[in-house]
Chains A and B, each alone.
Chain A
Amino acid sequence: MTSLTMIARVADGLPLAASIQEDEQSGRDLQHYQSQAKQLCRKLNAQSPDRCTLEAGDMNFHYIIAQGVCYLFLCEASFPKKMAFAYLEDIHSEFYDQYGRRVPTVTRPYSFIEFDTYIQKTKKSYVDSRARRNLGSINTELQDVQRIMVANIEEVLQRGEALSALDTKASNLSSLSKKYRSDAKYLNTRSAYAKVAAVAVFFITLIIYLRFWWL
């Protein structure tokens, strides 16, 4: 089964650990999902819902956020949701025990890549259908997964973009209006000058006329 597990710091999206399992038969392009996962980690912030499922074609991203760390799991859409979240909870408790304190201090990406070993083992026990039965008890205890928000990955990834598009439009608008303002000012002065010039011409003609005709 193809899957991808990723642990990242929510504050800046720094990846802390990851585990990839590619399946030869499915031949899916995990590269694409990986970059989506990275983007997602960067988009998430403290305001994001702390449990969510994102649909991406026939794959689902499940994530939970706890103690400033995001645990992301990519699996096939057919994989039971509650199992996925039980798995994420499991990973979270172990990861927090092992590395929780060091999370805020690290700067290097994938600082805790060694956690990969644990992830793989845990995943095996959840994915393996025989072992799954043994976990049945846990699953019942799990809180109601129905309430977990479901969204589309594209929407989430593009939410920021829409905002920034709005932002650029607004700034465009403001710069345009500024330009309009200055243009209008310029036009006003020009027309004022034109008026003055017209009057001046009139008077000069008048004076010349008076001088040559009347004197």
Chain B
Amino acid sequence: MSTAGFNSQNGTGQGQAYANGPSQNPVALQQLPGVSYGMTHQPNYSPMQAKAPAPPGPGLYPSGPYQPVPPVSSYQPVPPVSSYQPVPPVSSYQPGPPLTSYPASPGQPLLTRPPMGGLPSHTPPQSASPSPGPRLPPAQATPPPPSVSSSSYYQNPQQPQPMAPSWQYNTAPPPMGPPASMSTPPRGPVANHVNPAVSSTAPPPPSSAVYTSAPPAHVSHSATQPPGPRMPPTSAHGYTQPGTVPPPMNPMAPHTYQPSRAPYGPPPTGPPPTMKATPPPTGPPMGNATPPPPKAVAGLPQPGPPGRHLGHYPSLPPGYQNTSTPHNTTSPMHPAMQAATQPYTQAPQPYQQPPGGPGPAQLSPSLAAMSLQSSTPEALRVVNLLQERNLLPPRPIPAPTPCLPQDLQKINCNPEVFRSTLTSIPQTQSLLNKAKMPLGLLLHPFKDLSQLPVVTSSTIVRCRSCRTYINPFVSFLDQRRWKCNLCYRVNDVPEEFMYNPVSRSYGEPHKRPEVQNATIEFIAPSEYMLRPPQPAVYLFVLDVSHNAVETGYLNVFCQSLLDNINALPGDSRTKVGFITFDSTIHFYNLQEGLSQPQMLIVSDIEDIFLPTPDSLLVNLNECKELVQDLLKSLPTLFEKTMETQSALGSALQAAFKLLSPTGGRMSVFQTQLPNLGVGALQSREDPNQRASAKDIQHLSPATDFYKKLALDCSGQQVAVDLFLLSSQYCDLASLGCISRYSAGSVYYYPSYHHQHNPAQVECFQKDLKRYITRKIGFEAVMRIRCTKGLSIHTFHGNFFVRSTDLLSLPNVNPDAGFAVQMSIEENLDDMQVVSFQAALLYTSSKGERRIRVHTLCLPVVNSLSDIFAGADVQAISGLLACMAVDRSVTASLSDARDAMTNAAIDSLTSYRQSVLTIQQPGLLAPACLRLFPLFILALLKQKSFRTGTSTRLDDRVFAMCQLKYQPLAYAMLMIHPSLYRIDDLTDEGALNISERTIPQPILLQLSVEKLSREAAFLMDAGTVMYLWIGRNCNPNFLSQVLGVPSYASVPDNLFMLPELDTAESQRTRAFIGWLRDQRPFFPSLRVIRDESQWKASFMQNMIEDRTESALSYYEFLLHLQQQISK
């Protein structure tokens, strides 16, 4: 087992994991290649720069040599293509350009083409000079100015300086050139060609706009404007006062995308009903539609037009509409667009047409502007975090929608399955470095799906060079050829693929289910099998030492298995086996024909052997009675045991021997520190140091025995799931390796006891039930591919990296999540979109070999503000958490904490310096990142990373395991719990799911300030729920929901709501049940009062409040601001 594999999995993360060195030390940051996000590839640029340093501006696009003919000509004449592709007129999107530009040797363009606008050209100073580029806007500004005169850029000489003032990117005025080009390449001829089409076809699909882009749009308008003064769209929201009468910019554009986007739900136009609006002294209560500090307005020559936000805010000051009407003179110019946008815009106000503006080319420019704006309005709205308090949306945050054409987006992969931290992929690594945000993917590949198309065919169509599975984002050149969207190779369409089994028609390869679904499952032909599919094999390894018997878990385990034995996934070949161990190993002969199970004891734990290899793993169907007998007698068998030692290592070796011929799943139940034989461990925790220790020791394994064994298991397709039920320190950091590298899962029930801790018992029971009955895939491998130019360098989750991009997963279960970090190795210059494909090959419990393929498509952008607009704050936080776990194991916890804080500082600094032009005071963040500091703070206070409070080492390590292993949706709850008020649940806005009414209370901020003594609150922290009852809680709630007459009589150890026949009780239980149904594990409920023992852990989740050792949210923001303005 190559250690190299490990390095790629874990080791390498160390350097690159964190983008950010301490901000005080920018020198180091820039000079160490490893410090930035992912890998820096600045060296890559230098050759380019050397070759063509001069004309920076136009370089962004496949300019010059590329532009002229191809897109239109090559594209148009091909009818079949257009039928597949979304929007025929939009030739610049889709295969058109790549078609022509690509075949002409991909390498060549890089050389012949001038380098990227401002970005690369300032790279050398950046890397060379001690000060980091992003912090020095002027430095970056100097080179590009010439770019503005980009006559070569557009073929149309009439628009000589079209791109100069790009309002979008109000980064320092001079570098206008590069930012202007941010949208997708304006190909001169294309644009011209498109125009007529646009004007004639009624509402052009907004989607198309995104891609046709062509900056000329705003460009043409803005040509008359002094460069720079443009109000950044982001800040526009502030200026709602009609009096300012700004020249509104292309108004309609922003709204076209709204319906599909809905980035964060309805923008909080006002304080949510029950929230206390706490207006900051300086400004009006809610930032959105209200003016920010007036001085900012004054300071601006041309305050941004409010127009673009009109669509968002239903209620507009009348002045708005007034201001807009005068500009309607220009509306004839964009009839189509208006038509398209009107549904969303209340006040259609086209951009004020500058006199003498370029005539015919206008439409396409405005189209482009539309696309620009559409991607940005809500996500890029500037939020002053210090002033706006109620940032938390009232409902859980949905994943941001990538800014793709609608028809692509419609078929794109579900964000719950496949999600990227940046929904707009930067074009170059240097741009990514500038944005200071991690680029990565979060996957939940084996998620239980309600609807999954399954395809059976003898040949699975894949790209011949990169082996990508055919997917909705490939392009069909004609009926017989398709172009891979990852490597751009042109492949033949096989004969069988011409027939569409769904519509039973021939000759429509683009209608096949493979090309219609981003998530699909294939039944694999025999080429995908190295051996016949293995049967489902389950082996249970049970600790039966004195300690284990004391906890009483055996009863629960045996009962659960007995109850669900028929629900074990499998077919008639399913095999089961049992091993128990204390200081010796006990096997159970369950062979058919025996009258009762036979126990075989092996006391030689140094050299373990199998007493009867044939009859220990038996066919479940044939020996069900014996198995049931055994399960019934097992709990009593060891009742009187006095054996306290535990030889876990030997038991694991024995189990491995038993399973290695077939592979399968090994479930290990352990209740104490293994202290005998191989793999024995010592206690490494000093409880007295927990709270005071500055740095947490012993986060890494004490021995590599478990890791080595796990690798052997992985090689034999055995996965080990660990159930740890213990009140003592168990060294999960060491034991966890057995699951981590064999793709198992870890369950931890601290202080489990059958009598003293009924909540844990219930939790264990429910988890076991799910564990036993959930779907399972055996002998699986997963490969993640991405478009040429991107590369994956670090993986997070439980697996073994067999080769650079192949994850070996002996078992895969529906509750496992994965994350990967990516870097951009080659510039993605001539691409509009990139794709990612995760393919999971597994054997189902029925012995079928299947391949589940997920494909995600994301747009490529080349401006910082677009990157920020596409940031997915949850995914970023999730990925940062994974990176921080690695960091705390390889370096130290304080390093990891610093790195997380720096991640927030750096990205906000970058935003402030590169995207914003007006330097307002305060801590500014784009709306899409407005929760970023909160999530970072939550991570710092999370069990995994907190300091200063007494946290048991095992608890901490388990929390870390979960952060890495849980799919994002569940991990987010563990990072930032949800708080609801539930004593006044109503049916208003309730969901209706299968005839149950589920009330939907709003999310509250995690602050004690939100609690009130008169109410009851539910905190959903992922694995546990707290029901907090105020001292003066409504007696109605107490009696109707809890079934107790008064506050004093609420029992201390209540962990279940009584099933009362009242409306309130039903509502509450429906709500809690609904929350529980959303996740695969079972969160136990704890009803707490002021004096409960759990109150402390409840209060620890009040993230926004100050604790003895940690900052409050506001203090944290101040800290960030201080760092940023340094």
Interface residues of A (CB under 8 A from B): 6, 14-15, 17-22, 24, 30-31, 34, 38, 107-110, 113-114, 116-117
A18, A31, A108: the one contacting B848 at CB < 8 Å is: A108
Q: A19-B532, A20-B531 are in contact. Are A108 and B661 (CB under 8 A)?
A: no
Q: A108-B848, A114-B847, A117-B619 are in contact. Are A14 and B526 (CB under 8 A)?
A: yes
How far is the CB of B644 from the nearest CB of chain A, in Å? 33
In addition to A6-B532, A31-B531, A108-B848, 11 A-B residue pairs with Cβ atoms within 8 Å of each other are A14-B526, A17-B532, A18-B532, A20-B531, A20-B532, A107-B458, A108-B523, A109-B524, A110-B532, A114-B847, A117-B572
Is B525's CB within 8 Å of the partner chain A? yes
Kindly list chain A residues whose C-beta atoms are within 8 Å of the C-beta of B661: 21-22, 24
| CB <8 Å contact, B847 and A109 | no
| CB <8 Å contact, B456 and A108 | yes
| CB <8 Å contact, A113 and B526 | no
Kindly list chain B residues whose C-beta atoms are within 8 Å of the C-beta of A24: 661
Kindly list chain A residues whose C-beta atoms are within 8 Å of the C-beta of B525: 109
Kindly list chain A residues whose C-beta atoms are within 8 Å of the C-beta of B458: 107
| CB <8 Å contact, A117 and B526 | no
Kindly list chain A residues whose C-beta atoms are within 8 Å of the C-beta of B848: 108, 110
Is B849's CB within 8 Å of the partner chain A? yes
How far is the CB of B395 from the nearest CB of chain A, in Å? 44
B530, B533, B572, B619: the one contacting A110 at CB < 8 Å is: B533
Q: A22-B661, A31-B530, A108-B523 are in contact. Are A117 and B849 (CB under 8 A)?
A: no
How far is the CB of A127 from the nearest CB of chain B, in Å? 11
| CB <8 Å contact, A113 and B531 | no
Complex CA gap A108/B571 in Å reads 16
**A-side binding surface: helix, strand, loop or mixed?**
mixed
| CB <8 Å contact, A109 and B849 | yes
Kindly list chain A residues whose C-beta atoms are within 8 Å of the C-beta of B526: 14-15, 38, 109-110
Is B71's CB within 8 Å of the partner chain A? no
- Chain A residue nearest to B661 (CB atoms) is A22
Residue of B456, B523, B531, B848 with most chain A CB atoms under a 10 A cut-off: B531
Residue of B458, B525, B526, B619 with most chain A CB atoms under a 10 A cut-off: B526
| CB <8 Å contact, B573 and A116 | yes
Is B397's CB within 8 Å of the partner chain A? no
Is B736's CB within 8 Å of the partner chain A? no
Kindly list chain B residues whose C-beta atoms are within 8 Å of the C-beta of A22: 661
| CB <8 Å contact, B571 and A114 | yes
- Chain B residue nearest to A112 (CB atoms) is B847
Kindly list chain B residues whose C-beta atoms are within 8 Å of the C-beta of A6: 532
Complex CA gap A31/B530 in Å reads 8
Complex CA gap A20/B524 in Å reads 20
Complex CA gap A114/B573 in Å reads 6
Is B535's CB within 8 Å of the partner chain A? yes
- Chain B residue nearest to A38 (CB atoms) is B526
How far is the CB of A70 from the nearest CB of chain B, in Å? 14
Task: Give 30 A-B contacts (CB < 8 Å), ordered by A residue.
Answer: A14-B526, A18-B531, A19-B532, A20-B531, A20-B532, A21-B661, A22-B661, A30-B531, A31-B531, A34-B530, A38-B526, A107-B456, A108-B456, A109-B525, A109-B529, A110-B529, A110-B532, A110-B533, A110-B848, A110-B849, A113-B532, A113-B533, A113-B573, A113-B847, A114-B571, A114-B572, A114-B573, A114-B847, A116-B532, A117-B572
**Which of B418-462 touch A at CB < 8 Å?**
456, 458
How far is the CB of A207 from the nearest CB of chain B, in Å? 55
How far is the CB of A37 from the nearest CB of chain B, in Å? 10
Complex CA gap A136/B784 in Å reads 56
- Chain B residue nearest to A12 (CB atoms) is B458
Complex CA gap A101/B667 in Å reads 40
Residue of A19, A108, A114 with most chain B CB atoms under a 10 A cut-off: A108
- Chain B residue nearest to A31 (CB atoms) is B530
Kindly list chain B residues whose C-beta atoms are within 8 Å of the C-beta of A15: 526, 532
Kindly list chain B residues whose C-beta atoms are within 8 Å of the C-beta of A108: 456, 523, 848
Q: A15-B526, A15-B532, A20-B532 are in contact. Are A110 and B847 (CB under 8 A)?
A: yes
Complex CA gap A34/B458 in Å reads 21
Complex CA gap A19/B573 in Å reads 11
**Which of B848-867 touch A at CB < 8 Å?**
848-849
| CB <8 Å contact, B531 and A34 | yes
Kindly list chain B residues whose C-beta atoms are within 8 Å of the C-beta of A107: 456, 458
A20, A34, A38, A117: the one contacting B573 at CB < 8 Å is: A117
Kindly list chain A residues whose C-beta atoms are within 8 Å of the C-beta of B523: 108
Complex CA gap A21/B619 in Å reads 15
Complex CA gap A21/B571 in Å reads 19
Kindly list chain B residues whose C-beta atoms are within 8 Å of the C-beta of A17: 532
The 5 residue pairs across chains A and B that have the minimum distance between CB atoms: A18-B532, A109-B526, A113-B847, A114-B572, A22-B661
How far is the CB of B842 from the nearest CB of chain A, in Å? 14
How far is the CB of A26 from the nearest CB of chain B, in Å? 13
- Chain B residue nearest to A8 (CB atoms) is B526
Complex CA gap A117/B532 in Å reads 13
Complex CA gap A73/B525 in Å reads 22
**Which of B820-850 touch A at CB < 8 Å?**
847-849
- Chain A residue nearest to B621 (CB atoms) is A117
Complex CA gap A18/B849 in Å reads 14
Kindly list chain B residues whose C-beta atoms are within 8 Å of the C-beta of A114: 571-573, 847
How far is the CB of A120 from the nearest CB of chain B, in Å? 9
**Which of B570-591 touch A at CB < 8 Å?**
571-573
Complex CA gap A35/B256 in Å reads 57
Complex CA gap A210/B337 in Å reads 87
Complex CA gap A30/B848 in Å reads 21
- Chain A residue nearest to B532 (CB atoms) is A18
Kindly list chain A residues whose C-beta atoms are within 8 Å of the C-beta of B524: 109
Write out, one digit per residue, whether chain B residues 530-541 have a CB within 8 A of any chain A CB (1) or not (0): 111101000000
